[in-house]
Amino acid sequence: MENRNSSTADKELLLTRTLNAPVELVWEVWSKPEHIAKWWGPTGFTNTISVMDFQPGGKWTLVMHGPDGTDYPNESTFVEVVPNKRIVYEHTSYPHIIATIDFEDRGEQTGLTWHMLFDSREDFIAVAQKYQAKKGQKENVDKLEAYLTGIK
């Protein structure tokens, strides 16, 4: 049985970044499928979003297309949506992850905190090694930054 008081540091990814765009714009590119399809995923990936029901309980279904032609189906359910403040989604396809994205209004900038909690240390290690999850998360935010610069 897992000790509920134990740290989760061995099964989580955490990334913080200050984005040079106001929170309303950052929120828009996270919350609208026509935007997120253009920047989501690591470098070289493209996306096909079939469902993005952006509300608590809503489904998010997409296929990430890798640069080598491999397709990665993803299914998630939005758990919490607080405009300009927070998005929580449960990634229900493997690996199971609870992702929390917090947005901090800093005027013409936005503080972004993206936390991903895996079910187990084993899942985290497997994904981190096989898919280079930490590098991918950083590249994802790099692509978000570049996208924001291009539409401001």
Q: How much is the pLDDT for 111?
A: 98
Residues 107, 84, 42, 119, CA torsion sign:
positive
Q: How much is the pLDDT for 9?
A: 81
Mean pLDDT across the chain, nearest whole number? Answer: 92
Q: How much is the pLDDT for 2?
A: 40
Domain boundaries, the chain: 14-151
Residues 58, 134, 40, 126, CA torsion sign:
negative
Q: How much is the pLDDT for 6?
A: 56
The architecture that CATH gives domain 14-151 is 2-Layer Sandwich (3.30)
Task: Find tokens 């470098």 and name the residue.
Answer: 43
In tens, the pLDDT along 90-120 reads: 999 988 999 999 999 999 999 999 999 999 9
pLDDT above 90 coverage of the chain, percent: 78
